[in-house]
């Protein structure tokens, strides 16, 4: 499996998981169009629930309304999770993902992000992460849902004029280096 200089690899990720099925099937790519696209294809091809796609760089990462997500190599976490929820649980996926992201960020960094509904995680009013949920519904119900999370880890927003005044990262907000793993 590919690995980056910060040690992010499928093996490193899997060995640190304490889950029953989330991430137990994992694809780590050096570069992808977007993890949402890759996960959707894998879901259509029968990927198991909980399958995770993670990449070091996205060439066409996106958020809600197809807005571009700045996705330079090795500076953030870009991942998508394949789920097969019951229809009554579909609307909660984005909320649960946002709450999980806030909790994980606080536990690992001590920072206290907030949620800007419906899908942003912020620190001091600046976007730190975005959550995106896409689903495909068939005749018998939901075929699959893909939950995507883009989390700015070491990204310096000043290097990207289009997000300089509205984004932040874990490293920028904390004032110290933060690794993706």
DSSP state of 47: P
10-174 under CATH 3.30.930.10, yes or no? yes
User: What's the pLDDT at 8?
Assistant: 75
User: What's the pLDDT at 149?
Assistant: 96
Alpha-carbon distance values, 139 to 36, 57, 136 (Å): 23, 35, 10
Cβ-in-10-Å burial (0-12, 13-18, 19+) of 54 comes to: buried
User: Along the 181 residues of the chain, how does pLDDT read in single tens digits?
Assistant: 333 456 677 777 777 777 887 878 899 999 999 999 999 999 999 999 999 999 998 988 777 766 777 777 788 899 999 999 999 999 999 999 999 999 999 999 999 999 998 889 999 999 999 999 999 998 988 999 999 999 999 988 888 888 889 999 999 999 999 888 7
User: What's the pLDDT at 3?
Assistant: 34
User: What's the pLDDT at 150?
Assistant: 94
* Alpha-helix runs per DSSP H in 2-129: 10-16, 35-44, 93-109
Strands (E), 31-72: 52-55
User: What's the pLDDT at 60?
Assistant: 80
User: What's the pLDDT at 9?
Assistant: 76
Q: Where are the domains of the chain?
A: 10-174
Give the predicted TM-score (pTM) of the model: 0.89
User: What's the pLDDT at 7?
Assistant: 64
User: What's the pLDDT at 1?
Assistant: 30
Cβ-in-10-Å burial (0-12, 13-18, 19+) of 88 comes to: exposed
């Amino acid at each position: 499996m590919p690995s980056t200089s910060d040690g992010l690899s499928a093996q490193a990720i899997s060995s640190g998981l304490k889950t029953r099925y989330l991430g137990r099937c994992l694809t780590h790519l050096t570069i992808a169009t977007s993890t949402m696209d890759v996960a959707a294809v894998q879901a259509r091809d029968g990927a198991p629930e909980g399958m995770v796609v993670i990449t070091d760089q996205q060439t066409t990462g996106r958020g809600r309304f197809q807005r571009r997500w700045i996705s330079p190599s090795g500076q953030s976490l870009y991942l998508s999770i394949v789920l097969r929820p019951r229809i009554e649980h579909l609307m909660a996926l984005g909320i649960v993902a946002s709450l999980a992201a806030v909790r994980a960020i606080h536990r690992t960094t001590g920072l206290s992000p907030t949620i800007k509904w419906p899908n942003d995680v912020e620190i001091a009013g600046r976007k730190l992460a975005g959550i995106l949920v896409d689903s495909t519904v068939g005749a018998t119900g939901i075929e699959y849902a893909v939950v995507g999370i883009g989390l700015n880890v070491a990204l310096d927003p000043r290097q990207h004029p289009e997000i300089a005044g509205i984004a932040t990262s874990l490293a920028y907000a904390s004032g110290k280096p933060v690794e993706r793993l």
